[in-house]
Homo-oligomer: A and B are copies of this chain.
Amino acid sequence: MNIHSILSGSDQLLESPEGTREEIMNATYLSLCEYGYAGITIDRIGKHFPKSKSLIYHHYDGKDELLQDFLEFITEIFEKTVPFDEAEGADEHLEAILDHVFMNPLPERREEFTRAMIELRSQAAHNNDYRRHYTRHDDYFIDGIEAIIESGIESDVFRDTDSTQVAEFLFTLINGSMTRRVTSNNVDINSIREEIDRYLRARLVRNEE
């Protein structure tokens, strides 16, 4: 799967969708961006799908099943774009993740992608399947941050502290920032990032204020 299009200027979800499923996922993404979650229909997805619409029904019983698959697909892409696997020191690693999340301004395609993620997430307010999905996603993200903090404590870069609590706090800030930056016009992302750095220097990083 080639996900570079999110970070590049392409207006596709995938640089070059391969096979029918990826083409359907790509078409679903374009419909979501164009009409929002409430406006998605198989008809509209069909308009962005290069093959016959009947093929969509061959793969999925209906819109709900398709969107459930799409949710897994797009979350996997999101998780792959976050640099959890870099091998530098814990402090640089945490900074790389924050640099990625708090990039400002967001490239246009990543902003569009964030809008889609926020709309999908809000479905979890009334849908247990979506809520289970986002529970797993949050755990993945928090566990990733926690592992970096633990590694920093082991290598004596960070103070010995409650890594779970700090990780959940940081993820809640990331979630709030992602939500606000696509649902409000006045968000000062640089100020939030500056305050996070200040918090981390006071709370986590050794040999600082």
How many chain A residues touch B (Cβ–Cβ < 8 Å)? 52
Flag if A168 contacts B192 (CB, 8 Å): yes
Interface centre among A35, A122, A183, A192 (most CB of B within 10 A): A183
Contacts of A132 in B (CB 8 A): 185
Main secondary structure of the interface of A (DSSP, over half): helix
Asked if B176 and A188 sit within 8 Å, CB to CB, the answer is no
Residue A78 at the chain B interface, CB threshold 8 Å: no
Instruction: Tell me the bound Cα distance from A176 to B115 in angstroms.
Output: 15
Q: How many copies does the complex hold?
A: 2
Which of B119, B164, B180, B186 meets A172, CB within 8 Å?
B180
A170-187 interface (Cβ within 8 A of B): 171-177, 179-180, 182-187
Known: A37-B38, A138-B180, A165-B194. 10 other contacts (CB 8 A): A36-B125, A115-B125, A121-B122, A131-B185, A135-B185, A138-B186, A168-B195, A169-B192, A172-B192, A198-B203
Interface string of A195-209 (1 = CB under 8 A from B): 110110011000000
Q: Is the CB of A183 within 8 A of B134?
A: yes
